[in-house]
Amino acid sequence: MAATAAISTEDLTKNYGRLVAVDHLSLEVETGEILGFLGPNGAGKTTTMRMLLGLVRPSGGSVRILGMDIEHYLPQILARTGSIIENPTFYPFLSGRDNLRVVARLTGSPLARIEAVLELVDLSSSAKRSFKTYSLGMKQRLAVAAALLNEPDLLILDEPANGLDPAGIVEMRSLMRRLKSQGHTVLISSHVLHEIEQICDRILILNHGKIVVQGKVESLLNARSRIAIRVDRAGEAQAMLKPIDWIEDVSREGDLLLLTAPPDRAADINRLLAGEGLFASEIRPEEESLERFFLDVTEAPKA
């Protein structure tokens, strides 16, 4: 590799008695990328993040963060890592700024960083207000500010958009983009899939402690995009289109055909049909959403 991965695990495993929470997980997060770490509740995401931060001891496997083995260099790793795990807590009657002063003193971060991180998360104008008056979105952004105090190379964020209203989600999206533009590496878990689709370079989906799928968001979704075609002689059209090598699948619902094929080949399909005397009354792309993709790859197979 040209550069050291920000996070690298090999066969990372965590057992709780007979329960296997994380099952031989091998993953890499590239330096400078935002990786969406997805999965249903109980898939093992938070347990994995806790192991990456040294909060939970693995049952097996290895972890390297920023090129360092977590077994031997945990203090050095934590000095270069910021995190939000589950629900962060602050003093309700202290201001946002004073809460950051407390965190800075506890973590040994420079007090001079406080104004910079407040500006980065767009809380400078609200820094004097007490934490208890903050909206949920502001509270989450203050948590990100606290995670940024030590000027980390890596951020590990567990559900930073949890409970946010639409305005708060937009604010968090904007913040993630600012962090990426500044060169931060981010591992982020979230159930707000349409936001993950917009901000992440890659996604990794975990289920029952194992990786189900991983890759670039655009590539994964494009591979599942479909073309819907309404044609009178649908049976003939289906038989004619099935042998074409760049069409992965052709299913039929009455006079509607659903083709798993690149959306930009719709015109080619129309020409092929017309050449056989088959004329479509409707052709439209059906782009895959991350939400539908996620449900397809994580739902239990039907008995």
In tens, the pLDDT along 182-219 reads 889 999 999 889 889 999 999 999 999 999 999 999 88
55 inside domain: yes
Tell whether the model's pLDDT for residue 18 goes beyond 50.
yes
In a domain, 132, yes or no: yes
For the entire predicted model, the pTM comes to 0.84
Token pair, residue 82, equals 């910021």
What CA dihedral angle connects 202, 207, 208 and 210, to 10 degrees?
-40
- Rounded-to-integer distance, Cα 122 and Cα 134, Å: 13
Q: What is the pLDDT of residue 213?
A: 94
101 and 242 together in one domain: no
255: domain CATH number? 3.30.70.980
CA distances from 291 to 89, 207, 219, 301 (A): 30, 15, 15, 18
- Which residue matches tokens 């700024």? 97
Quote the mean pLDDT of the chain: 91
Tokens 């040209």 appear where? 2
Q: What's the residue count for the chain?
A: 303
pLDDT digits (tens, 9 = 90+) for 100-142: 999 999 988 999 999 999 998 889 999 999 999 998 888 989 9
- Phi, psi dihedrals of residue 201, rounded to the nearest 5°: -75, -45
Choose one of 186, 203, 221: the last residue of a domain: 221
Whether residues 33 and 49 fall in one domain: yes
Predicted confidence band of residue 73 (pLDDT cuts 50, 70, 90):
very high
Range of the domain at 53: 5-221
| Residue-level pLDDT at 300 | 60
Q: What is the pLDDT of residue 301?
A: 54
Residue where one domain finishes, among candidates 203, 221, 239: 221
pLDDT tens-digit profile of 216-226?
998 888 877 78
The CATH number of residue 185's host domain is: 3.40.50.300
Q: Are 165 and 77 within one domain? A: yes
Residue 129 domain-assigned? yes
